[in-house]
Structure 1
Amino acid sequence: MDYNAFFPPHEGLRLKEIAVRLGAELSDEAFGDRRVRSIAPVSRAKQDQLCYILSRKNRDELLTCDAAAVICDESLKSIVPDHIPALICKNPHTIFAQAGELLHPSAMRPSAVTPEETGVSTSAHVDPTAKLEPGVIVEPFAVIGANVHIGSGTRIGPGAIIGAEVQIGRDCTIAGGASVLSALIGNGVIIHNGVRIGQDGFGYAPGPRGMIKIVQIGRVIIQDHVEIGANTTVDRGTMDDTVIGEGTKIDNQVQIGHNVHIGRHCGIVSKVGIAGSTRIGDGVMIGGAAGINGHITIGDGAQIAAMSGVVSDVPAGAKVGGTPARPIKHFLRDMADILARAEERDRKTGDKNV
């Protein structure tokens, strides 16, 4: 695939400069002045692109590789073709991620509709009581409510809605069409297109003529360097707060219920649903489409497999899967038993039909 207009290549960084900035060792200094402009997969990388390998499984792909350099571990240097230098490091995946940020910084945040724009668009509405630090960008048709505070370096995308009294820190991105209500947001937070933060939690009490709405007067607290994917929803608390801890990364289309507390540096994949008042520790990883029951606790470092149904507490460090979720070894054993029985049934059925 050729370069595209959405994420154009860098003007060029020299390999030796990249090696220094990434803390990698360049295997052959003779290539130090080679300029790098982009990244690419191993199989089709060109002379101005970086790629990376993690195992010897990439050996065949290297036959068609013509990259500026290959990022790899010392143990894989021997399989890199002689005409391609290696950037040797202990953690190639991480170093490749950092290289991508160097070469394509604009791709690290939601794309701006008008990237050259500065200040407040004349077609945006900013309440006169709002306080915007210098360097804030507000794109067309965004609405900034009363008494909002926004820190320097933050960009509010087109059509975004920032409700009254909301506070947003510095160097944040609130992408187009997002709405942020009843929330306090830290620094370096990325909120993608269509995210909904701070709307009512789902709370009702039984009444003589049906369900009676319970008032939701809590907030959403989002700490520094959180990233929230497109069309995810984070409900505000009923009386206490919904909290998302520092450095946590949340994928698209995730539902986070009222009063949920999520710890620091968690990873939550697409279509996860977390019911109200659940407590999730630090460093928890939750696979796609998992459902988390309300009013339970998931301990630090726990891992939950995709499409699991978690109905009770999960201890710290545990790995669980299935519905209901159970220790992953038990789940895999159960699946193996089910498959074995199905194969036996099919074999017997086949014998009868002969």
Structure 2
Amino acid sequence: MSDPDFFPTPKPVTVAEICAWTGATVTDDKAGYIVLQGVAPLDTAGPGDLTFLDNKKYAEMLAATRAGAVLIHARFAERVPAGVVALVVGDPYRAFATATGRLYPAALRLEGPYGATGIAAGSHVHEAARLEPGVTVEPGAVIGARAEIGTGTVISAGAVIGHDVRIGRNCHVGAGATVIHALIGNRVILHGGVRIGQDGFGFAMGPRGHQKVPQIGRVVIQDDVEIGANTTIDRGANRDTVIGEGTKIDNLVQIAHNVEIGRHCVIVSQVGISGSTHLGDFVVAAGQAGLTGHLKIGTGAQIGAQSGVMNDVPAGARIMGSPSRPIMEFARELATLKKLARRGPSSGSDHEN
């Protein structure tokens, strides 16, 4: 639930205003005058709350909800209980995100933990660094020589920005993050503990030992990327590691040197992507998937959780398993194994007494 100490209680709004924000429609024009003052899940929402239903797994909760209004797809609208206003919309979850952002704008303004603006006395900004007006640097942060940071960007407490790094406008670098050997676009969010631009894991292996290969590339992060806490992105060995525009990366992800990730991809927690693998646009990699090096993952491909990807993946393919294979093939194999398990040992088993 929302805590007013962290996110101020929003001012009351009408159902009509929410419809204007989200494009939702109501069947009863009088419902537009109903007043709401918060958001909540289906099962805890009260008469003053807006809620939503986007997943049929939670359809049973709809019958018992006490919410004032619910954003809902047309196919579920008839199930909305009496006394709850149905706001019919094509994408309820996106609509709920839009409404929540309007009601709680502070949740979209990423501020540093210190809470002040400007250049803090306890920060360390090299005299050769170039900061546009309106940059916030919190105590304990370090900004190296010739680094460039755009207006509206927040460098949180304890973050380190290396020499010659370039960070665009309206970015957020979380507490304790480090950014070296990197070029970062506008509106990029790096959560706490992120590591950008350190050496890639490159060694020339041999019987006399493993010789370190100099990593002389960069990390290039394009506009509107968000990277979760404690994710690590290595700089390229002799080319750049690239994260494409609009891509969202969860916590605890490892991205190796020379990897190129396309636009608007989604990389979920604990995914590991080995060196020189290329992902097209709108690729999804679910939790704990592992991708070996030097692969090409086509645009729109979907990789299931805990998959082990060892070969190229065509555009639009859906794969799962380890080693990964088409998801329908994986499902058939799983069904066959279940049938064999239910059947038990054959009558001619060598293990019979």
Same fold (TM over 0.5): yes
How far 1:152 sits from its partner (Å)? 1.2
How far 1:149 sits from its partner (Å)? 0.9
The match for 1:80 is: 80
The match for 1:331 is: 330
Q: Where do 1:57-206 residues align within 5 Å?
A: 58=58, 60-108=60-108, 110=110, 112-115=112-115, 117-206=116-205
> Which residue type is aligned with residue 37 of structure 1?
Q
How far 1:348 sits from its partner (Å)? 6.6
How far, CA to CA, are the matches of 2:39 and 2:346 in structure 1? 50
* Matching of residue 317 in structure 1 with residue 316 in structure 2: yes
User: Secondary structure of the equivalent of 1:25?
Assistant: coil
Contact 2:178 2:196 in 1 (8 A): yes
The match for 2:220 is: 221
How far 1:64 sits from its partner (Å)? 3.6
5+ residue gaps, structure 2? none
Identity rate, percent: 50
Give the 3 Å change call, closer, same or farther, for CA 215–17 of structure 1 in structure 2.
Answer: same
The match for 2:28 is: 28
Contact 2:18 2:99 in 1 (8 A): yes
Deviations for 1:20-76, whole angstroms, at most 9, x for unmatched residues? 122222443434344433221111112232101236765542344232311112333
TM-score, normalised to structure 2, is 0.92
Contact 1:109 1:173 in 2 (8 A): no
Contact 1:130 1:148 in 2 (8 A): yes
> Which residue type is aligned with residue 292 of structure 1?
L
How far, CA to CA, are the matches of 2:136 and 2:37 in structure 1? 28
How far 1:111 sits from its partner (Å)? 5.4
How far, CA to CA, are the matches of 1:87 and 1:123 in structure 2? 50
> Which residue type is aligned with residue 18 of structure 2?
I
How far, CA to CA, are the matches of 2:212 and 2:72 in structure 1? 57
Deviates more, 1:60-69 or 1:223-232: 60-69
User: Secondary structure of the equivalent of 2:75?
Assistant: helix
User: Secondary structure of the equivalent of 2:210?
Assistant: strand
Deviations for 1:214-247, whole angstroms, at most 9, x for unmatched residues? 0001000001111111110000000100000011
How far, CA to CA, are the matches of 2:279 and 2:248 in structure 1? 13
Contact 1:287 1:307 in 2 (8 A): yes
> Which residue type is aligned with residue 107 of structure 2?
A
How far, CA to CA, are the matches of 2:62 and 2:215 in structure 1? 57
Give the 3 Å change call, closer, same or farther, for CA 19–212 of structure 1 in structure 2.
Answer: same
How far, CA to CA, are the matches of 1:336 and 1:59 in structure 2? 27
> Which residue type is aligned with residue 333 of structure 1?
R
How far, CA to CA, are the matches of 1:56 and 1:205 in structure 2? 52
Deviations for 1:252-280, whole angstroms, at most 9, x for unmatched residues? 10000000000011111111100000011
> Which residue type is aligned with residue 237 of structure 2?
T
5+ residue gaps, structure 1? none
Q: Where do 1:272-311 residues align within 5 Å?
A: 272-311=271-310
Give the 3 Å change call, closer, same or farther, for CA 187–336 of structure 1 in structure 2.
Answer: same
Contact 1:134 1:152 in 2 (8 A): yes
How far 1:209 sits from its partner (Å)? 3.4
User: Secondary structure of the equivalent of 1:39?
Assistant: coil
Contact 1:143 1:159 in 2 (8 A): yes
How far 1:347 sits from its partner (Å)? 8.4
